[in-house]
Structures are given as C-alpha cells and as structure tokens.
Structure 1
Amino acid sequence: MSCLFCQLIREDSTQWVARGPSACAFTPLDPLAPGHTLVVPTAHYADVFDTPIEVLAETVELVQLLARAMRSGLNATGVNVLNASGPGSEQSVRHLHFHVVPRWPDDGISTWPTGQSQHRFAGDPAVQLADALTVGEHPRS
C-alpha cells in the first residue's frame, strides 16, 4: 500500500505535534494558517466510512485537545475542523484525516463553502436520512 500518511508515520518523517497509540497530529506541508495541523489515526483507514467507531472517537478526541491547545497556545478565537471522505468529497489522501485550522478575526481566509451544490435529489433528503438511520445505518449501541 502506498499511503503518504502511513509512510510519514512509519518513517517518522514529519513535524509532530502529538503522537499517541491510535491517533497523531502533524503539520501539513502547505499550512492554511499558523498552527494548521492534520490529525490522523495511526492505523490506515481510508475515510470516515471505513474507520471503526472506537478509532474515530479517539481521533476526534485528539482534534478537540488540539483545538483547545490552539485557543490557549496560539490565542486562536476559533477553529475550523475539515474532513473530506469518499470520492465525491475531493478527498486528497485516502487516509482518514482532519484538518484543524486555527482562526482569528480578519485572518483573511475562508474555509466555508461559498456556493451551493448543483446536485438535485428527488424527495426530501432529511426524510431519507432519518429513514436510513432507522434501518441500521447508525453506530452500534
């Protein structure tokens, strides 16, 4: 398997912010803002659909810890947490990852979509989602 993030983890060839047994955080090559960090599970999972709930929870816990550190250590007034999962999402690396981007007023960047999807859906998407959740498309209890 040729996964860039697995290679970085295996070769210890990045600037680490945090390393744990199930999740780690490192700086990207081209950060959007000072302190922009990627949080990934240490084992390879392609996306949010593929990741066991326990690993996802531990990864998101590190996202939260990192966001708090951005607020206290960088004086960020907010963060954007960004994830793309699956082929229709513009996912650039097929290893689950979250971008945690510290934000400040008037920092000059926008990470929020500026347009709306052109995809059309027959029926009510909220009803379809609710129905899918009731037939087993939800986390294990």
Structure 2
Amino acid sequence: MDCAFCRLIRDGTARWVVREAESCAFIPVNPLAPGHTLVVPTSHFTDVFDTPPDVLTASMTLVQRVAAAMRTALGASGVNILSASGPGSEQSVPHLHFHVVPRWVDDGISTWPTGQSRRRPTGDPGTQLAAAGHGRLLIRP
C-alpha cells in the first residue's frame, strides 16, 4: 500500500522537523496551531493495533521530544496529543500518526480538536522546533 505519509517519507517532500530511522515528524498541510506537528513511524503501520511495540515506543519517544521542543522553542504552555486508530475513530490517513499540537492559555482553540489557534507565529515554527534540538532533533534527508 502506498499511502500519503509513505509517499512523503519516500519522496522527502514534507516540511520536516525530524527524520530518524524508526519515526519522523513533519508539519501538516493545515496546522491547527503554529508548530502543529505529525509524528509517524517511517514504516507503514495502519494504526496502534498493528504497530509493533518497539516502533510504538520510538514514535512516542519522539512525540515527547517534539512536545518538549514546543515548550522551549515556541513558548507553549501545554500540548494536545491526538491519535485515531481504526474505522470507528475517524482516522484520516490509514498510517499511524500522532498530532502534537502546541497550546497556550490564550490561543483561542475553544473547540478542540477542530478549532484554529488565534496565535500567530513570529518566524517559521517548524524551523524553530527543529533548531530547539541543537542539531539533535532535525536530521535532513
């Protein structure tokens, strides 16, 4: 199966925050907030039910690192982490993924997860997140 995320990974065409052997992170096409990032396994797994534990661990470790970068680089006071798995969950892309959305007390997202943040970035949030790792977070293709 050649899914949208597999194509992005294969072609290297995403706005990358992190690329690692087991998982990667990139900015989605329509972010909910400045710095909204998707974390996905680099190999295709449909959802949490068919993902091996070691791949799930690598992905969640990256989720945690991205969330920490959001706090330091973007000044986020919190994050929302969302993942949908299976037909009844309204999963949008059949490739396991985690939305990591930075949040601020005054961001105006009152209808999570469908609202849009009022917060406007200064600079490119993806670049700021990548730089927060001081060269450890971003691995260029």
Q: Which SS does the other structure have where 1:17 is aligned?
A: strand
Structure 2 gap segments, 5+ residues each: 115-141
Q: Match for 1:76: what amino acid? A: A
Q: Which SS does the other structure have where 1:81 is aligned?
A: strand
**CA RMSD in angstroms, aligned pairs only:** 1.1
Q: In structure 2, how many angstroms separate the alpha carbons of the residues matched to 1:80 and 1:111?
A: 9
Q: Which residue of 1 aligns with 2:13?
A: 13
Q: Which residue of 2 aligns with 1:111?
A: 112
The structure that has the greater radius of gyration is 1
Paired-residue identity, %: 64
Aligned residues: 113
Within 5 A, what are the aligned runs for 1:77-92?
77-92=77-92
Q: Match for 1:78: what amino acid? A: G
Q: Which residue of 2 aligns with 1:33?
A: 33
Q: Which SS does the other structure have where 1:102 is aligned?
A: strand
Q: Which residue of 2 aligns with 1:75?
A: 75
Q: In structure 1, how many angstroms separate the alpha carbons of the residues matched to 2:78 and 2:19?
A: 23
Q: Which residue of 1 aligns with 2:46?
A: 46
TM-score, normalisation: structure 2: 0.78
Q: In structure 2, how many angstroms separate the alpha carbons of the residues matched to 1:48 and 1:11?
A: 24
Cα displacement (A) at 1:108 = 1.0
Cα displacement (A) at 1:2 = 2.6
After superposing on structure 2, the runs of 4+ consecutive aligned residues of structure 1 that deviate more than 6 Å are none
Structure 1 gap segments, 5+ residues each: 114-141
